Amino acid sequence: MAVLNRLMSRCRASSLIGSYSNSVRRYCLNTIEGDGKLPLVSPSAASSVPHPGPIVKPNSTGGRSVQWVFLGCPGVGKGTYAARLSSLLGVPHISTGDLVRHELSSHGPLSSKLGEIVNQGKLISDETIIDLLSKRLEAGEAKGESGFILDGFPRTIRQAEILEGVTNIDLVINLKLREEALLAKCLGRRICSECGGNYNVACIDIEGENGSPRMYMPPLLPPPNCESKLITRSDDTEEVVKERLRIYNEMSRPVEEFYRSRGKLLEFDLPGGIPESWPKLLRALNLDDLEDKKSLAA
């Protein structure tokens, strides 16, 4: 993690972004991978993608903490599943969207410029997002964090190349959901302004057609003490969500191929709401045993 931070800092301080020197890349890879610890994912066939996808091995005791990435369209549920895996695996869930929103709410020097970009559904610059991410990683390192589950980063090929240059990502989980559900899920999203809890008031029920099964996603309603404190994200309007979906297809879809071609992409089609999807995701990640053990221990 320390090296990741240092290089992120170097990327931000100089103009290494987009024009790495090979020696810097070698330095980082050697330093990070030279710790003798086991990678979590071995390249072999596990999913239906043309390139052999990764087989996920449960966390081995000698291994370092996981370094995973979540990809997927706005509204797919990256934050929900990343947060659940983060508490199961004991690694930080780092959402760049949350970092941006935190920056916006701080009313610092960047916030009005960022607010304009976010509220148009556009991406903020690679340099700015790397700057925010580096600060978050540095703060985590100071608290003794190790490993991460990234949600919302990388979102451009350039970001993916930078990340690939500084550390070894074990696994990239590409969450997928039917297009019809994505807009409804974004519009139904609610956040508790006090505890930060994420809820969804949308009830999604899509008839099966052309061989695809019916999809039912019940609302995820807040507990009574959050009910009166719910807020909606300013970028969750129909117009802005449509723009975010367009930008995802243009800028972030190629990132899926970036990881697919490296054998790191695990495609996961969400079959429905959390009760249906979570156990299946754990099974796909070979983590169902871990959850059983954790619930027995609780």
Residue 102 or 294 having the CB closest to ligand ADP = 102
Burial of 146 (0-12, 13-18, 19+ CB in 10 A): middle
Q: Which of 20, 70, 153, 268 binds ligand ADP (CB under 6 A)?
A: 153
Q: Which of 54, 77, 152, 222 binds ligand ADP (CB under 6 A)?
A: 152
74 lines the binding site for ligand ADP (CB under 6 A):
yes
155 lines the binding site for ligand ADP (CB under 6 A):
yes
Instruction: Find the shortest distance in angstroms from Cβ 210 to ligand ADP.
Output: 28
Instruction: Find the shortest distance in angstroms from Cβ 207 to ligand ADP.
Output: 26
Residue 175 or 281 having the CB closest to ligand ADP = 175
Q: How far is CA 9 from CA 29, 111, 131, in A?
A: 16, 21, 8
Contact set for ligand ADP, span 163-182 (CB under 6 A): none
Span of 57-65, 148-156, 223-231, 265-273 interacting with ligand ADP by CB under 6 A: 148-156
Contact set for ligand ADP, span 79-138 (CB under 6 A): 96-97, 100, 117-118, 121-124, 129
Residue 56 or 118 having the CB closest to ligand ADP = 118
77 lines the binding site for ligand ADP (CB under 6 A):
no
183 lines the binding site for ligand ADP (CB under 6 A):
no
Contact set for ligand ADP, span 226-245 (CB under 6 A): 235, 244
12 lines the binding site for ligand ADP (CB under 6 A):
no
* Binding region for ligand ADP (CB under 6 A): 74, 96-97, 100, 117-118, 121-124, 129, 152-153, 155, 159, 235, 244
